[in-house]
Amino acid sequence: MLAADVALNQYLILSAFLFCTGVYGVLARRNGVLVLLSVELMLNAVNINLVAFSAFTRNISGQVFALFVITIAAAEVGVGLAIVLLIYRNLRSPDLDRVDQLKG
Amino acid sequence: MAGGAIGVVRSPNIVHAALFLIVVLVGAAAQYIVLLAEFVGITQFFIYIGAIAVLFLFGIMLTRAPMGSRTDFDNDQRWPAAIVAVFLAGVLVALVVDAFGNDKIRLDDQLLETSRTGPVGDSIFRNFVIPFEVVSMLLLAALVGAVVIARRD
Amino acid sequence: MLRNAWLIPLLPAISFVLILLVGKRLPRKGAEVGVGMVGASFALSCVALVQWIQRVDDHEGSGGGGHAVRGLAKALVPAQEAAEHGLPGVAAVTRSFTWWQNGGVKFDVGIQIDGLAVMMMFVVTFVSFMVHVYSTSYMEGDRRFTHFYALLSLFTASMLLLVVANNTLELLVGWELVGLCSFVLIGHWWEEKPNSDAAVKAFLTTRTGDVGFMIGIIIIFFAAGTFDINGINEYALSDGANHTLLVVGASCLLLGIIGKSGQFPLHTWLPDAMAGPTPVSALIHAATMVVAGVYFGARLFPVFYEGFSIDAGGINAMALIGGITIVIGAVLAFVQRDIKKVLAYSTISQIGYMVMALGVGAWVAAVFHLFTHAFFKALLFLGAGSVSHSGSHHSFDMKNDMGGLRKHMPITFWTFMIGSLALAGIFPLAGFWSKDEILATAGHADFEFFLVVGLLGAFMTAAYMTRCVYLTFFGEYRGHGQPHESPPAITVPLIALAGLSVVAGLINAAPLGIEKFTEWFEPGVAFPVLEHADFNYTLATVSVLTALIGIGIAAYLWFQEEELGAFKGLTQRNTLAHAGYAFLENKYYLDALYENVIVASIKGAIANVSYWVNQHVIDGIVNALGRGATTVGRATYDALDQRAVDGAYNGIAEATGDTGGLLRYVQSGRVQRYALTLFAAVGALSLALWLVY
């Protein structure tokens, strides 16, 4: 027998915090791999939200979506690392600061 | 978990950052278990920690990132980034509190029954079978794409 | 088959898509798809034709009308032969579904198959099939061979769509598609500037007419309240029709016909359109594009009939345009050096006949002339193509690169000869019957003026075709290649077309008691009562004599100096003796005679005048407009542009430069800086939204 009430808020706030930390990482980090790490943080924040709402609304779809997000995150990391590798190979450095060919 | 997250974005050592990410991922998996989403939690564990984290470590090695302590991993917009992040966090938290201030998640046997792996599988292959197939194709495409992009020459 | 006639345009359309998609990978580069599909389409058209004829015969045999009653009417009122129209005729086969409906306006997509459509489908698919076959050899090795075939199929499909359409909007779709295809095909070799210029000219000129055409369709829609062709025709003939709207609408539609069918004064695009490959010219001139205008005139004939009060006789806009065009076109044909241009002007002139025939109420004659003209004009164009393909190294210049080809290319020569005689209206070839019918009706229905114009046209047609044939096939070879006969893919279509050019006229040979064309193809419902002129032996004799005199004079002028003897001297000449000398002299004489004909004779003067009009008046108007615009432009430039506008622009430019300098910092090319802005904006926006709610 299981019965417990948990505040929905605590998950959402945790998620918001993780997300914004991820945003900071994406904005402030120079190394491509670190930027990807931060993106993972943001994706996880979204997943926590999805699962929390799934439990809150008693709708299984949220969990399914979380699974999809995990799958897509795997794909994203694969492609992302490939891009970072390419940048590294072309510029001899993983620094994103130097990727500024779009400069106006 | 929150500390781990800070560690990911602030650690001066790139390998440490990756390890901090694993902390965060384990924490997230634990949250899923607590929320009775066992299948998602286990998947998180296997895929993120088993596969993605290792992939990152490979990436770090392949790009020959400096292993020791370095301070110049951050670019020159650290402070604007921090301001934006804090501002965004403030807005989000305020919104969340405003919208869901008093809502509670009720964890009971009924929820446990409906969130087991069986119902999740049912839902995927009954209601979400087309998105599932699309995601499979996407994974394949990403695989091919990664190979093409990273290929030497 | 009649109910499923939509298949006929569909097949070439499918062929177009197939060729585009897979054409390049096929062994014959897509030609086999085009030939096969259009061939199938042609077979279906034949089936439809036969079924329609059966339908008409059944109708008449069943006692509902036709022979028996017509015989009675003839007996009672001998002067009026067309009494059958008082009785319900064979209704068209229509089939349609509603495409959209809005506020009481219904727009159908459908087919309307009647005698005219069946006849037209037969002509279009037949000529197109011949052109497809012909092109396999003619266009061989072309760099855009596959594209050429794809567009040829689309061209055919569009024309067929125009033919089967049961409402004016659907017809307009086909009409514009035909224009588009002709634009692309004329500019097939667009790498050379004149070709792309010609294509643009053709497109823009016809577009000018199309503006009128569209306005006309809209006016007629508001008058009749429907786009349906049958509905429009019934409305035009009903007592409640608004005559003013019909006049305006018919005038606007006439503008469209003028543009599309190359009538005066919008005929100038047609000769330039010769820049396209020869098979395309044949298709444009014989079966698609230019006859689309005449077809439309025949399709909505009641509108023109009532709008221009054709039954009243006298002179009306339609007949006048046609009459002017006959003369203008024929006269210009004398001064061309390019064999295709001769034929182009001849087409203009012949289409003029058709429009004039419509204008004088000779519906059957107009359509009949369209029918026969398609065969011999396609024949002539393909013959000219054959000459350039195998005889003159892809040149069309009659004076420099041709001559004496009759020995080298016998099949081409004889078929071309048949085509020319048919065009000149010599008994008993196809052109004679149709042209004669036009003249007879014009004379019968109080349009004497146009009768004279028609005879003049017949005279000139015969003369310029003689000149053309002479320059191409007689005399000495003036080119530099090894002329030889064309391959079978070229000669077989020529022979087929020549055969039809001979016999096609016989289906409406009144003195032989055959009037099948009238019987089968004249609409029975929603059609004005027309009087059919009896065959007039005097007139027929006069017209043939006129043509013969034309040939005779021309032949005399060109042949006499070379001791060739008889008229139309097909006899061999003493080539060896004259070999070197005659070549030069021959050329000299031609120029001299050419000058004599042009300067000395009346028609030469007219030729110069009309050419002058072409060059000076029409061009002058354009130039004057251009010059006016330039003057205004310069004034504007000095007064306004230099001071006010430039000042403003310089100010703006400076401001832009400064702003750009500032913004340059923003566009750093660094993704993370963009992301920073993005997230900041997202945060600010969500805050704003939250506060607002």
Predicted confidence at residue A69, as pLDDT, reads 92
C-alpha to C-alpha distance for A66 and A47, rounded to whole angstroms: 5
Same domain for C677 and C545, yes or no, is no
What span, in angstroms and rounded, lies between the C-alpha atoms of C578 and C91? 65
- Most confident by average pLDDT, C335-339, C591-595, C612-616: C335-339
For residue C686, being part of any structural domain is answered with yes
CA distance C379 to C412: 10
Q: Provide the residue range defining the domain that includes C636.
A: 619-692
Q: pLDDT of B36-51, one tens digit each?
A: 888 999 999 888 888 8
Which residue carries 């017509």 as its tokens? Answer: C70
Residue C601 pLDDT > 60: no
Domain assignment of residue C106, yes or no: no
A27 and C672 in contact by Cβ < 8 A?
yes
pLDDT, mean of residues C663-672: 71
Q: Across residues C679-683, what is the average pLDDT?
A: 89
Q: Is the pLDDT of residue C203 over 60?
A: yes
Q: Domain containing A42 — which CATH number?
A: 1.10.287.3510
Show the tokens assigned to C527. Answer: 């059609």
pLDDT tens by residue, C57-100: 777 665 444 443 343 333 333 333 333 444 456 677 777 777 77
Structural domain span for residue A26:
10-95
Taking residue C658's Cβ as centre, other Cβ atoms within 10 Å add up to 10
* Nearest alpha carbon to residue C128 among C378, C333, C435: C378
The predicted pLDDT at position C60 comes to 66
pLDDT attached to residue C276: 78
Q: Does A19 have pLDDT greater than 90?
A: yes
Cα–Cα dist A39/A25, whole Å: 8
State how far the alpha carbon of B105 is from the alpha carbons of A44, A52, A65, A67, C265, in Å. Answer: 20, 8, 19, 21, 84
Looking at the structure, tell me whether residues C458 and C594 fall in a common domain. yes
Which residue of chain C has the CA closest to B88? C683
pLDDT digits (tens, 9 = 90+) for A30-54: 888 888 889 999 999 999 999 999 9
Looking at the structure, do residues C521 and C450 belong to the same domain, yes or no? yes
Closest by Cβ to A104, choosing from C667, C676, C679: C667
The CA-based angle C524-C525-C528, given to 5 degrees, is 90
Is C417 in the same domain as C457? yes
Average pLDDT of the residues in C251-273:
81
Residue C320 belongs to what H/E stretch?
Answer: helix C317-333
Q: Which range, of A5-14, B142-151, C99-108, C421-430, averages the lowest pLDDT?
A: C99-108
Residue C25 within any structural domain of the chain: no
Q: In the predicted model, is pLDDT for residue C599 greater than 50?
A: no
Q: How much is the ipTM here? A: 0.86
Residue C486 DSSP class = P
Of all helices (H) and strands (E), which one includes residue C82? none
**Rounded to 5°, angle at Cα C394 from C325 and C259:** 25
More confident position, C551 or C593: C551
pLDDT at C605: 54
pLDDT at C608: 60
pLDDT band at C583 (very low <50, low <70, confident <90, very high): very low
Least confident of B98-102, C39-43, C229-233, C503-507: C503-507
pLDDT band at C615 (very low <50, low <70, confident <90, very high): low
Q: Is the residue at C207 inside a domain?
A: no
Task: Please give the helix or strand (H or E) that residue B36 lies within, else none.
Answer: none
Nearest-angstrom CA–CA distance, C108 and C227: 8
pLDDT score for B13:
82
Interacting residues of C460 by C-beta distance below 8 A, sequence separation 6+: C327, C330, C331, C333, C334, C349, C550, C603
The string of DSSP codes covering C459-484 is: HHHHHHHHHHHHHHHSS---SSS---
Task: Find the CB nearest B80 among C676, C687, C690.
Answer: C676
In a domain, C397, yes or no: yes
* pLDDT value, residue C595: 41
A interface mutation test: which of B26, B35, B134, B143 has the most A CBs within 10 A? B35
Percent of chain C with pLDDT over 70: 76
Handedness of CA C378, C379, C382, C388 (dihedral sign): negative
* Whether residue C27 has pLDDT greater than 90: no
The verdict on C645 and C583 lying in the same domain is no
pTM of the model: 0.59
The owner of tokens 């799958």 is A71
d(CA C249, CA C247) in angstroms, rounded, equals: 5
Q: Which amino acid is present at B58?
A: F
List of domains in chain B:
2-69+78-115 (1.20.120.1200)
Mean pLDDT, rounded, for C25-45: 81
End of a domain among C600, C628, C653? C600
What whole-number distance in Å separates Cα of residue C531 and Cα of residue C481?
55
What's the rounded Cα separation, in Å, for the pair A62 and A15? Answer: 15
- Asked whether the beta carbons of C270 and C290 are under 8 A apart, the reply is yes
| pLDDT reading at C316 higher than 70 | yes
The answer to whether residue C454 is domain-embedded is yes
Residue C198: the pLDDT is: 80
Q: Residue B106's beta-bridge partner residues?
A: A5
- What pLDDT was estimated at residue C78? 34
Closest Cα to residue C123, out of C163, C173, C176?
Answer: C163
For residue C393, what are the CA distances in angstroms to C22, C93, C95, C336?
32, 49, 50, 19
A15 band by pLDDT with thresholds 50, 70 and 90: very high
Question: Between the CA of residue C174 and those of C110, C129, C162, C164, what are the distances in Å?
Answer: 13, 19, 4, 10
Which of C680, C687, C690 is closest, CB to CB, to B84?
A: C680
DSSP letter (8 states) at residue B44: I
Average pLDDT over residues C544-558: 76
Which of B133-142, C439-448, C453-462 is predicted least confidently?
C439-448
Give helix C363-386 / helix C410-424 axis angle, nearest 10°: 160
Of C384 and C24, more confident:
C384
Lowest-confidence pick of C171-180, C278-287, C641-650: C641-650
For B141, the token pair is: 């495409």
In a domain, residue C237? The reply is no
Q: Say if residue C540 is in the same domain as residue C507.
A: yes
More confident residue, A56 or C312: A56
| Highest mean predicted confidence (pLDDT) among A24-28, A97-101, C488-492 | A24-28
Q: Given an 8 Å threshold on Cβ–Cβ distance, is C676 in contact with B85?
A: no
Tokens of C607: 């030729």
CA-nearest residue to C685 within chain B is B91
Determine the length of chain B: 153
Residue tagged 């359109």 (tokens)? C273
- Same domain assignment for residues C568 and C473: yes
How would residue C584 be classed by pLDDT, with cut points 50, 70 and 90? very low
**Structural contact between residues B87 and C683, judged by C-beta atoms closer than 8 angstroms:** yes
Average pLDDT over residues C207-226: 85
Q: Which two tokens stand for residue C5?
A: 């006639």
B142 at C interface, C-beta within 8 A: no
C-alpha C362 chain-centroid distance: 19
Give the minimum alpha-carbon distance from B91 to chain C in angstroms, rounded to a whole number: 6
Mean pLDDT of C266-272: 76
Residue corresponding to tokens 């029918």 = C371
Q: Give the other-Cβ count within 10 Å of B134's Cβ.
A: 12
**Residue B3 Cα to chain centre, angstroms:** 15
pLDDT at B71 over 60: no
- Residue B38: what residue type? E
Write the residue in C669, C675, C679 that is nearest to A102 by C-beta.
C669
Position C207: which residue type? R
Residue B68's pLDDT is: 53
C-alpha span between C653 and C657 (Å, rounded): 6
Which chain A residues are Cβ-neighbours of C663 within 8 angstroms? 104
Q: Are residues C641 and C589 in the same domain?
A: no
Mean pLDDT of B65-81: 69
What would the pLDDT profile of C5-18 be if each residue is shown by its tens digit? 778 888 888 888 88
pLDDT at A49: 93
pLDDT at C287 over 50: yes
- pLDDT recorded at residue C358: 84
Given a cut of 60, whether residue C592 has pLDDT beyond it is: no
pLDDT of residue C487: 78
pLDDT over 90, % of chain C: 0
Q: What is the DSSP string of C288-323?
A: STHHHHHHHHHHTHHHHHHHTTGGG-S--HHHHHHH
> Is the distance from CB of C504 to CB of C404 less than 8 angstroms?
no
Which residue, chain included where needed, has tokens 């704003």? Answer: C688
Mean pLDDT across C224-239? 82
C526 and C665 housed in the same domain: no
Q: Residue A95 in 3-state DSSP? A: strand
A5 domain-assigned: no
pLDDT interval class at B135 (50, 70, 90): very high
pLDDT attached to residue C578: 37
Instruction: Give me the residues of C, 637-676, that contact B with CB < 8 A.
Output: 672-673, 676
| Structural domain total, chain C | 2
Is A18 domain-assigned?
Answer: yes
Q: What pLDDT is stored for residue B17 in this prediction?
A: 87
Two tokens, residue C215: 């306005």
Instruction: Say if residue C519 is in the same domain as residue C639.
Output: no
Nearest CB to A28; choose among B74, B101, B123: B74
> Do the Cβ atoms of C352 and C323 come closer than 8 Å?
yes
Neighbours of chain B (3+ CB pairs under 8 A): A, C
Does the structure show a pLDDT above 70 at C256? yes
Regarding predicted confidence, which is higher, C58 or A21?
Answer: A21
* The pLDDT of residue C333 is above 50: yes
C210 within 8 A of C286, measured Cβ to Cβ:
no
User: What average pLDDT does range A90-104 have in this prediction?
Assistant: 72
A89 within domain boundaries: yes
Is the preceding peptide bond at C428 cis, omega within 30 degrees of 0?
yes
Phi, psi torsion values for C565, nearest 5 degrees? 85, -125
- Predicted confidence at residue C279, as pLDDT, reads 83
Mean pLDDT, rounded, of chain C: 75
On whether residue C299 sits in a domain, the answer given is no
Contact in structure between C194 and C248 (CB atoms under 8 Å):
no
What CA–CA distance (Å, rounded) separates C172 from C256?
11
Cis peptide before C265 (omega within 30 of 0): yes
Record: contact A63-B115, CB cut-off 8 A? yes
- CA C52 centroid distance within chain: 25
pLDDT confidence of residue A48: 93
Whether residues C513 and C396 share a domain: the answer is yes
Clarify whether residues C626 and C508 are in a common domain: no
pLDDT at C577 over 50: no
Highest mean pLDDT out of C121-130, C311-320, C382-391, C424-433? C121-130
Q: At what angle do helices A8-28 and B14-34 cross, to 10 degrees?
A: 160
Top residue of A1, A2, A60 to mutate, by most chain B CBs within 10 Å, is A60
Asked whether the predicted pLDDT for residue A3 surpasses 80, the reply is no
B80 close to C (CB below 8 A)? yes
Q: Is residue A100 part of a domain?
A: no
Q: How many domains does chain A have?
A: 1
> So what's the pLDDT on residue B137?
92
Q: What SS3 state is found at C187?
A: coil
Contact B75 A30 (CB under 8 A): yes
